[in-house]
Amino acid sequence: MSSEPRLSLQDLEVTYTTKHDEVTAVDGVSVDIQSDEIFGVVGESGCGKSTLANTILRLLDDNGEITGGEIRYNGRDLAEMSEKGLSRTVRGREISMVFQDPNTSLDPVYTIGQQLTETIRQHLDVSKQEARERAVQSLDDVGIPSPADRLDDYPHQFSGGMRQRVVIAIALSCNPSLLIADEPTTGLDVSIQAQILDLLKDINENRDTSVVLITHDLGVVAEICDRVGVMYAGNLVEVSPVGVIYNDPKHPYTQDLLKSIPETHDIKEELTVIKGSPPDLRSPPSGCRYHPRCSKVCSEACETGEMPRVYHEGESSVRCYIYDAAENPEYEATTNGTDEQSGEQSQQTKRGEQ
Amino acid sequence: MEWYEYLIKRVLLLVPTLFGVSIFVFFLVHLVPGSPAVAMLGVRATEERIAEIENDLGLNEPLPVQYIDWFTGVLTGDLGQSYSFNGPVSSILVDRFFVSLELVLLTLLVSLCVSIPLGIAAALYKNSPIDYFSMSVGITGVSVPTFFSGVVFIAIFAVWQGWFPVSGYVVPSEDIVANLRHMALPTLTMTLVAVAVAMRMMRSSMIETLGEEYIRFLKAKGLRRRSVLFGHALKNSFIPVITVIGLQFGYMLSGAVVVEQIFAIPGLGRTVLQAVLQRDYPLVQGAVLLLAVWFSVVNLLTDLIVSFLNPRIMEEET
Amino acid sequence: MTTQTQKTTERNESQLRQFAANFIENKLAVVGLFLIVCVALVTVFASQIAPYSPTAQNYNAVLEGPSMAHPFGTDDLGRDIFSRVLFGYQTVMTITTSGVVVAFILGTVTGLTAGYRGGRIDQLLMRSVDVLMAFPSLILALALIAALGPSKWGVALVLGIAYTPIFARVARSEAVSLREEQFIKSLEVRGASQPRIMFRHILPNAVGPLIVTVTLQFAFGILTTATLSFLGVGVQPPDPSLGRMLTDGKDYLDTAWWFSVFPGIAIMIPVIGFNTIGDGLRDTFDPKQVNR
C-alpha cells in the first residue's frame, strides 16, 4: 500500500450538457487504484459509475466533459493529455477497457483476428506474422479453445461468453497495467458470469494488471474484489476493503444497499428495500445527497450543509457527517481510527450543543 | 451457412417471383376491357384487321395454351411484334436498353461521387452549416418532381446559358463528346434525386454507426481516429447505403421515363411510354417484363454484395 | 375496471403529450405540418378562394405575367393559373388520398393476416406481395394504365395497387413481433377471435410505423400522380392537373416562366410537407432507426 498508486483520481467532476440543463454525473470523486488490486465500483444504475469508467480513458459521449479534477497516471494527468497522445500511448496500451455487452463491442464486419492484430500493430512495432502469433496467444490466454482456427471467424460465430473472452483478449493483447471492466458479466448466463470473473481474477493474479470492475452486483464484488468504492448520485460515498463493506459498512447507503440484497444476507433476516429513489441529478439535494432516503440523518448539515467531506475511518474513507465530530454529537472515533480528533472533543461538542 | 448455399437459396427464391411476374405481365392484356385488338386499332378498324391481330396475339386459343405459347416465346427471346415500331419487340428493347443504361450509369457515378462524401461530412459535423446544406439538398431532391427540375435545368443551362443542347440524343460510337453533352442535363436531373436518397442514407447510417458500442471499444483500444472512422465506421455504415443504391440502380431504368421524355432520348422508358400511349401491347409486355426482371436481378445482386460484406446477414436470414 | 381504464387513458394521454413534445422539437417537421395544413385548407376551399373558374378562357389575357388580377399569371388559353393550381390541388389530393386509403386497407389486411397467421397463408400472401414488389412502381402504374386506359380514378386505383406491398410489409413485420407478446397470447387463451385480435389489438400497436408509411406514401403519391399527368397518361383534360400544366407550360419557358414555375412549386409544397412530417414522425416513433 505504501507504493505509488497505479491510478489516482483527484476531485474528478464530469458534466453532461443537454439542450435544457446540465447534469453533473460525477462529482468530487477521489480514489487511488493500487497496483495489483481488483477495485470494485458499485452502485445503482444511473449513479455515475459507468460515466466514471468512461472518463478515465476520456471516452465520454459528445455532450460529456471533464469539468474538474485530475486523472493521474504514471506521472501524467490524463484529463489534460491530447486526444492523439492518449490514443498513442495510453488507450489499449497502458489502460484497456471492456464494455458491458460483448454482442455490441466487436465490429461485426471484421474477423476477430483482424480486430486483434490491428490493436497489436497499433501499439507494438511487430510484423503482420508476429501480430498474428500474438493474437493467437492472446486468445489462448483467455481460454478460447483452438485459438488459431478461430482467428478468421466473425464475432457472430462466437457465443456470448466466448465473445466477452475475445473482447478481454483484445483489451489485454498489449499487456496493459490497468483494465477497466464496465459490467462485463451483465448480459451473460450465471455459469458463464462466474467463468469471466475467474478469468479477471486470474489476469489480476498472473499479470501485473490492476482491474477496476464496475458492477451493480454486490455478489460479484464479494467474489473477486480487494477493495470497493460505493457510488451514489455521482459521489463516491465510501471506499473500503471488501471485508469491511460486508461486515462493517460505514456509510448508511452501503448499509441499506447490503440489507436489500438477498445473497449477502441470512434468510432469517428481513430484506428491506431502500425507500424512495435516487435523486434527479439535474437538481441534486443539498447537503448529503443521500439524506432524503437516509435513516440515520444526524445533523442539520446532512440536509442543508455542504456535501460532506471525506472522513477516514480505519481503512475506509467515507463521505458522511456521522463521522464528523463537529456535526455528529454522538460521534465516537473508532479505536483504530486515523482521525486524530479524540472522543473527548466529540463529548465536548455534544455537551456544547445541549 | 456457406456463401454459395446462400447464393443458391436466393436464386431459387427468385424463381417463384419471376414466375408470378410473367403471369402478371401475361394477364395485362386480358385486363383490357373488351378486345385488346379493338383497343389497339381504334373503333374504326375493319373486321378483318381485328381478326388478324387477334389471331396474331393468339387470343382465340384457351388461356393456358396462350400462356404457354407466350412464355415459350419469352424463354427463346421471342417477345412478339411491335405494331407501332414495326419490328420484333426483343430487338427494339435491346437497342433502347443500352441507351438507358448509359444514362443510368452516368447518374449513378456522378451521384455517388457527390452523395457519399456529403453524407459523411454531414454525419461527422452534425448541426453544422454543411449538415444543414446537405439536409436541404436531401429534402429538395426527394420532393422536386423530375419533370419540374428537368424543365428548369433546360431553361437555365440550355435556353439561357446555351451550354448544353435542349434535347436529343447522339449515339456514343458516333461522337462521344456530343453524346455526353446531350446526356449532361438528363444526368443532372436524375442525379438530384439519386444524390438526395443516397446522401440521406449515408448520413443517418453513419450517425447510427458512430453511436455503436464497438466504436467506443475501438477508441478504447487506442485506434487512431482515422482508422476508427474510415476503417470501421465507414465500412459498417456503407452497407445499408449499398442496399439503397442497389434499389435505386434497379429503379432508375424505369424512373428514366420522365427524363427521357423531356429530353427526347430514345431509351427504354420513353419506349414504354410510347407503347402505352399507342396501346402497343406486345411492346408494353416485353418492356415491363424486362424492367421487372432487371429490377429483381439487380436487387438480388445487391443483397449478395451486402451479405458478402456483412456475413452476419447470411446467418440472420436463415 | 373503471380505474384500470382510467389509468390506461391517463397513461395514453401523457404518452401522447410526450410524443407531441418530441415532435415539436423537430422544427422541420412542424414547418411541414404547417405546409400541409395550408394545402389542405386551399384544397377544401378552392372554389371559395379561386378568383376565376379553372376552365374559363379569356383570349384578351393570354400568357399574361403575374399581376393583381392574376397573381400567378395566365396560360396560353388565358386561364388564370392561380385558380387552376387551386383546383389542381383538389384533383391531385383526391387521387392520392384515395390511392393511399386503398393501399392502406389492402396492405394492412394482407400484412396483418400474413404476419399473425404465419405458415402457409403467410408464404402465399407474401409471395404475391413479392411479385408486385418486383415491378418498379412507376412501371407498374404505366402497365396498369396501358390495360385500364388513362383516367383520374384509374390513377387512384393504380396507386392503391402499387403501394399495397409497402403497407403489407410494414404491417406484417409489426404483426410478427407482436404475435409473440404476452398480452396477445393471453387474449388467445381467453378465446378472442382472430379478426378481433388482429384489428383491435395488433393494429393499434402497429400504428406508429403505419402512420409514417402513410405520410411518406402521400409524398410519393402526389409526385407519381403529377408525373403520370405530365406524361399524358394520368388526369385527362378538362380536369385541371398540376402535372399537365407543366406539360403545356414547358414550351413557353423562355417567354412565360410563370406558366410552369408556379405549378411546379405548387407540387413541391405538399411533397416537402409530407416528407418532413414523415421524417419527423419516424424519428419520434423510433429514435434509433434514423432513416431508411
Contact A115, B232 (CB under 8 A): no
Which residue on chain A is closest to B312 by alpha carbon?
A: A156
Reported confidence tier of residue C286, pLDDT bands at 50, 70, 90: low
Q: Which B residues 228-247 touch A at CB under 8 Å?
A: 231-232, 235-236, 239
Average pLDDT over residues C120-137: 91
Cα of first residue to Cα of last residue in chain A, in angstroms, is: 42
Which residue would you say has higher pLDDT here, A332 or C154?
Answer: C154
CA contacts within 13 A on the Cβ side of B51: 3
Residues in chain A whose beta carbon is closer than 8 A to a beta carbon of chain B?
54, 57, 59, 83, 86-88, 90-93, 96-97, 99-101, 104-110, 118-119, 122-123, 154, 156, 167, 170-171
- pLDDT of residue C2 exceeding 70, the answer is no
At residue A160 the predicted structure's pLDDT band, cuts being 50, 70 and 90, is confident
Closest by alpha carbon to A202, among A141, A285, A249?
A141
User: Is-contact B148 B225, C-beta < 8 A?
Assistant: no
The three cell numbers locating residue A93: 496500451
Is any Cβ of chain C less than 8 angstroms from the Cβ of B158?
no
- Grid coordinates 413481433 are at which residue? C177
Residue-wise pLDDT for B149-160, tens only, equals 999 999 899 888
Q: Is A105 in contact with B235 (Cβ distance < 8 A)? A: no
Chains with at least 3 CB pairs less than 8 angstroms from chain A: B
State the ipTM, two decimals.
Answer: 0.88
What pLDDT is recorded for position C12?
A: 66
Q: Is the Cβ pair B217, A105 closer than 8 Å?
A: yes
Cross-chain Cβ contact B220/A156 below 8 Å: no
pLDDT confidence of C187, banded at 50, 70, 90?
confident
Look at B221 and A156 and tell me if their CB atoms are within 8 Å.
no
Scan for cell 439536409, then name that residue. Answer: B135
Rounded Cα–Cα distance for residues B56 and B80 (Å): 9
**pLDDT of A191 over the 90 cut:** no
Lowest mean pLDDT among B19-23, B26-30, B140-144: B26-30
List of chain A residues whose C-beta atoms are within 8 Å of the C-beta of residue B227 = 118, 122
The pLDDT score that the predictor gives to residue B92 is 92
Which range has highest mean pLDDT (B34-38, B280-284, C101-105)?
C101-105
Is the pLDDT assigned to residue B69 strictly greater than 80? Answer: yes
Sorted by where each starts, the structural domains of chain C and their CATH numbers stand as 29-290 (1.10.3720.10)
How many C-alpha atoms does A247 have within 13 Å on its Cβ side?
Answer: 4
Specify the range with the lowest mean pLDDT, choosing from A136-150, B75-89, B96-110. Answer: B75-89
pLDDT band for A283, please (50, 70, 90 cuts). Answer: confident
Asked whether residue C1 carries a pLDDT value surpassing 80, the answer given is no
Chain A residues with CB-CB distance to B219 below 8 A: 57, 59, 87, 91
Q: What is the model's pLDDT at position B258?
A: 93
What average pLDDT does the segment C131-141 reach? Answer: 91
Nearest residue in A to B309, CA atom: A109
Residues with Cβ within 8 Å of B260's Cβ and at least 6 positions away in sequence, in order, are B100, B103, B186, B266, B267, B268, B269, B270
Please indicate whether, in this complex, the C-beta atoms of B310 and A167 are within 8 angstroms of each other. no
**Test the C interface: residue of B29, B143, B167 with most C CBs within 10 Å:** B143
Quick check: B31 and C272 CB within 8 A? no
Higher pLDDT, A235 or A188: A235
In B161-280, alpha helices (H):
176-210, 213-220, 225-226, 234-262, 268-278
State residue A185's pLDDT score.
Answer: 85
* Residue in A105, A109, A119 nearest the CB of B310: A109
pLDDT of residue A271: 62
C-alpha closest to that of B214 among B187, B233, B190? B233
Whole-number average pLDDT of chain A: 84
Q: For the CA atoms of chain C, what is the radius of gyration?
A: 22
Q: How many CB pairs under 8 A join B and C?
A: 147
Inter-chain contact B200–C28, Cβ cutoff 8 Å?
Answer: no
- Selecting from B20, B250, B276 the residue whose C-beta is nearest the C-beta of C142 gives B276
Contact B222/A83, CB-based, under 8 Å? no
Spatial contact of A282 and A17, defined as CB atoms under 8 Å apart: no
Host H or E run for residue A210: strand A210-215
Burial degree of A285 (CB within 10 A; 0-12, 13-18, 19+): middle
Contact C143 B28 (CB under 8 A): yes
pLDDT band of residue C26 (cuts 50, 70, 90) is confident
How much is the pLDDT for B172? 87
**pLDDT exceeds cutoff 80 at B299:** yes
- The pLDDT-based confidence of A353 (bands split at 50, 70, 90) is very low
pLDDT at C164 over 90: yes
Chains that touch C (3 or more CB pairs under 8 A): B
Comparing A307-321, B41-55, C216-230, the range with the smallest average pLDDT is: B41-55
Average of per-residue pLDDT across C258-275: 93
The answer to whether residue B220 neighbours chain A at the CB level (below 8 Å) is yes
Using pLDDT thresholds of 50, 70 and 90, give the confidence band for residue A45.
Answer: confident
Across the interface, of A59, A87, A106, the residue whose CB is closest to B214 is A106
Contact with chain C for residue B156, Cβ under 8 A? no
Residue C9: its pLDDT value, please? 53
Question: Cβ distance B263 to C108 under 8 Å?
Answer: no
Confidence of residue C240 (pLDDT cuts 50, 70, 90): confident
Per mean pLDDT, which range of B15-24, C154-163, C181-190, C212-221 is the poorest?
A: C181-190
Among A96, A68, A103, residue whose Cα is nearest residue A177: A96
Q: Using 50, 70 and 90 to split pLDDT, how confident is the model at C120?
A: very high
Residues A251-275: pLDDT tens digits?
A: 889 888 888 776 555 555 566 677 7
Alpha carbon A72 to chain centroid, angstroms? 16
Predicted confidence (pLDDT) at residue A347 exceeds the cutoff of 50: no
**Which pLDDT belongs to residue B221?**
92
Mean pLDDT estimate for chain C: 86
For residue A344, is pLDDT > 50?
A: no
Q: Which residues of B touch C268 (CB under 8 A)?
A: 143-145, 148
Chain B interface, best mutation among C123, C126, C135, by max B CB count within 10 A: C135
Is a pLDDT exceeding 90 seen at residue B103? Answer: yes
Residue C15 binned pLDDT confidence (cut-offs 50, 70, 90) = confident
Which of A106-110, B169-173, B256-260, C102-106 is the least confident region? B169-173
- Predicted pLDDT of residue B174: 87
What is the mean pLDDT of the segment spanning A333-344? 44
Please state, as a whole number, how many other Cβ atoms lie within 10 Å of the Cβ of residue C11.
10
The answer to whether B32 faces chain C, any CB pair under 8 Å, is yes
User: What whole-number percentage of chain A has pLDDT above 70?
Assistant: 89
If one compares A108 and C289, the residue with the highest pLDDT of the two is: A108
Among all residues of chain B, which has the CA nearest to that of A157? B312
- B315 confidence band (pLDDT: 50, 70, 90): low
* Alpha-carbon gap, residue C225 to C159, rounded angstroms: 8
State whether A108 and B310 contact (CB < 8 Å). yes
What is the per-residue pLDDT for C283?
A: 82
Per-residue pLDDT band at B36 (split at 50, 70, 90):
confident
The dotted CATH code for B98-278 is 1.10.3720.10
Per-residue pLDDT at A354 exceeds 50: no
- Residue range(s) in chain A whose domain bears CATH number 3.40.50.300: 7-232
- Asked whether the predicted pLDDT for residue A197 surpasses 50, the reply is yes
Q: What pLDDT shows up at residue C59?
A: 81
End-to-end CA distance of chain B: 8
Output the pLDDT for position A324.
79
Of the candidates B152, B257, B292, which has its C-beta nearest C135's C-beta?
B292
In this prediction, residue C4 carries a pLDDT of 44
The C-alpha cell 443551362 sits at B157
Strand pairing partners for A212? A39, A180
Distance from CA of B254 to the nearest CA of C (A): 6
Three-class SS state of A322? helix
The minimal CB distance from A59 to the residues B212, B219, B311 is found for B219
CATH superfamily, domain at A7-232: P-loop containing nucleotide triphosphate hydrolases (3.40.50.300)
Q: Does B318 touch chain A (CB under 8 A)?
A: no
Q: Closest Cα of chain B to A95: distance in Å?
A: 8
Checking C233-238 for CB contacts under 8 A at 24+ apart, the result is C233/B273, C233/B276, C233/B277, C233/C142, C233/C145, C233/C150, C234/C145, C234/C150, C234/C152, C234/C155, C235/C91, C235/C95, C235/C151, C235/C152, C235/C155, C236/C150, C236/C151, C236/C152, C238/C55
Which of B12, B30, B148, B202 to substitute to test the interface with C, most C CBs within 10 Å? B148
Instruction: To the nearest 10°, report the CA torsion of A294, A295, A298, A299.
Output: 50
Per-residue pLDDT for A333 more than 70?
no
Given this model, what pLDDT does residue A72 score? 92
> What backbone phi and psi angles, to 5 degrees, belong to A333?
-60, 135
Cell matching residue A164 = 466477452
B34 touches chain C (CB under 8 A): no
Answer for the pair B292, B19: CB distance below 8 angstroms, yes or no: no
Residue pair B239/B306 in contact by the 8 Å Cβ criterion: yes
Packing angle, helices C207-230 and C137-148, rounded to 10: 60
To the nearest whole Å, the CA of B20 is away from the closest chain C CA by 6
User: What is the mean pLDDT of the segment spanning B299-311?
Assistant: 88
pTM reported for the whole predicted model? 0.84
Summarised one tens digit per residue, pLDDT across range B204-246 is 999 999 989 999 999 999 999 899 999 999 999 999 999 999 9
Q: Where are the domains of chain B?
A: 98-278
In angstroms, the Cα distances linking C285 to C18, C29, C170 are 11, 13, 14
Q: Residue A348 has what pLDDT?
A: 39
Q: How confident is the model at residue B316 (pLDDT cuts 50, 70, 90)?
A: low
For the stretch B74-101, pLDDT in tens is 888 888 888 888 889 999 999 999 999 9
Asked if B212 lies within 8 A of A104 by C-beta distance, the reply is yes
